[in-house]
Chains A and B, each alone.
Chain A
Amino acid sequence: MQTQELARGFADPVLEAQGAFRAAMWALSRPGQPQELTTELVPPAPLSPEAAALALALCDYETPVFLDAALAAERAVADFLRFHTGAPITEDPGEARFAIIANPMELLDFSQFSPGSPDFPDASTTLILQVAGFAGHGFMLEGPGIKGRIGFGATPLPGDFPARMAANRALFPRGVDLLLAGAGQVAGLPRSVAVKGA
């Protein structure tokens, strides 16, 4: 039997978790405006350091985590998350409170995840999407947290992304919330935001 060294978690769990949460909080408060998120984590590939920091800050035994095909293919990713967060890894996206997506181009349809119920719209999945960066202004965003409207871009995203976000917005107050984790940054697209192709 082979043993593998487990990548380490936060060096300072209290303050690093607080920092990652604050970045996520401002990201969802200001949709489409990337917030700084620095971390020294070196998680097993293809899990990105930023996505790992968000997972370690927010997940625990109360939050089943769904991994996309790219992440599920690497056992070390599930082992890393299980060890550091205690979160159960689920194969059912509808049961997941968090879903981590390493390959946004093959993102499952939002309807596969939990949108919450009319009585409890908060019981919905939060998607953590790993993106390369926030380039361009391919989309126009409007909604709570945005003064007027702003341009937003992230790559890679599926071509029908605005249509998917529109379908998600139509469910409001139900729906999924997105955290996009790029290099050193995190941007939020909560269900309240209206995304239009520019």
Chain B
Amino acid sequence: MSGMPEISYNFAYLDEQTKRMIRRAILKAIAIPGYQVPFAAREMPMPYGWGTGGVQVTAAVLGPDDVLKVIDQGADDTTNAVAIRGFFEKTAGVATTTATTQASIIQTRHRIPETALAENQILVYQVPIPEPLRFLEPRETETRQLHALAEYGLMHVKLYEDIARHGHIATTYAYPVEVAGRYVMDPSPIPKFDNPKMDDCPALQLFGAGREKRIYAIPPYTTVRSLDFEDHPFKVQRFAKPCALCAATGVYLDEVILDDKGGRMFVCSDTDHCNTRQAQGHRGEMAAPAGEAA
């Protein structure tokens, strides 16, 4: 159709004033590790809950030389990850990858990759509810004051009540952490299995909550401590079996239901890690025999 103006976007979709506003929030977030900086989140061309906060942080940080990886629960090939990767391919023309080691920016929904992150990498988390105290105290004015006073007794009461009811701390995801000895922070709904990876991590970790309009950060090499008690120390979940496809141990596994007779398998939640291991020749008990692999 001749005469139709071609629709084009500013680099990485956001206008420059929006980027500056987000960038200033990111700088303050880095200077005050774990503190939630309010920012004027914009409407994005995707619904709330699909990573609008993470997308805005990525758009503000992204440059033309970046290589972007997007994961949703560890997987590169799920709807949310594919859509966001396509969004930045279209609006910024950046290179994308599924390999953790190749990426300069990794936007994630609810997982930290199994492969250790490196300096110069940026991990951008999509955050639904940034306030760790929200379900304990609904009023923003109150939670803000609790953070100002570093008054985190409520959170310890919650963890204690877990122990009183269940005999152990039953919080398994979005497990609260203390950052650099000061702010208690919600690590987004990552499994607590991933919490230890945040501590002393060489990469920069940025968190964006679009609906709640908050940005927070953990600089590289920062102490991140999962809250616990002396007699109930923080522990991560263990899996009885290795990954059924790549035989990896010490990784986070997803349960896959196979039939209606109780058949199931456990496989790596991190698809890049699993594929890389299979390519190296590692075979789990349910992997296709070598040579038959698709």
* Residue A121 CB within 8 A of the other chain: yes
Determine if A58 is an interface residue (Cβ-Cβ < 8 Å): yes
Task: Indicate whether B46 reaches chain A with its CB closer than 8 angstroms.
Answer: no
Quote the shortest CB–CB distance from A33 to chain B (angstroms).
Answer: 10
Q: Tell yes or no: A13 within 8 A of B by CB.
A: yes
Give the chain B neighbours of A118 by CB distance below 8 A: 148-149
Q: Does A17 contact B (CB under 8 A)?
A: yes
Indicate whether B155 reaches chain A with its CB closer than 8 angstroms: no
Could you say which residues of chain B place their CB within 8 Å of the CB of A25?
23, 26-27, 30, 61, 204
Closest to B218 in A: A144
- Of the candidates B21, B27, B38, the one whose C-beta lies within 8 Å of that of A28 is B27
| Distance to closest chain B CB from A56 (angstroms) | 10
- In Å, the complex CA distance between A158 and B182 comes to 30
Interface size on A, residues (CB 8 A): 39
Query: Does B176 count as interface, using CB distance less than 8 angstroms?
Result: no
Residue in contact with B63 in the complex, picked from A15, A146, A177, CB distance below 8 Å: A15
* Residues of A contacting B148 in the complex (Cβ-Cβ under 8 angstroms): 118-119
Interface string of A97-129 (1 = CB under 8 A from B): 100000000000000000000111110101000
Q: Is the CB of A60 within 8 A of B17?
A: yes
- Check if B222 sits within 8 Å of A58, measured CB to CB: no
Given the contacts A57-B20, A60-B17, A60-B20, A173 and B219 also touching, CB distance less than 8 Å? no
Question: For A28, what are the chain B residues with a Cβ–Cβ distance below 8 Å?
Answer: 27, 30-31, 219
**A59, A147, A173, A177: the one within 8 Å of B183 (CB):** A173
Tell me if B23 and A126 are in contact (CB < 8 A): no
Residue B180 interfacial (CB < 8 Å): yes
Instruction: Pick the residue among B19, B27, B219, B223 that contacts A177 (CB under 8 A).
Output: B27
B35 proximal to A (CB < 8 A): yes
Q: Enumerate B251-274 residues with CB–CB distance to A below 8 Å.
A: none
Q: Please tell me if the beta carbons of A122 and B33 are within 8 angstroms of each other in the complex.
A: no
Docked Cα-Cα span, A146 to B33, in Å, equals: 13
With A14-B10, A173-B183 as contacts: A122 and B25 at CB distance below 8 Å: yes
Known contacts A15-B64, A122-B32, A147-B220; 20 further A-B pairs (Cβ under 8 A): A18-B11, A21-B60, A24-B27, A25-B26, A25-B61, A30-B219, A60-B17, A60-B20, A60-B21, A62-B21, A119-B148, A122-B29, A144-B219, A145-B219, A145-B222, A146-B221, A177-B28, A190-B32, A191-B31, A192-B219
By Cβ-Cβ distance, the 10 closest A-B pairs, closest first, are: A190-B31, A145-B219, A118-B148, A122-B28, A144-B222, A177-B31, A144-B219, A147-B221, A122-B37, A29-B219
Report which B residues bind A (CB closer than 8 A): 10-11, 16-17, 19-21, 23-33, 35, 37-38, 60-64, 144-145, 147-149, 180, 182-183, 204, 218-223
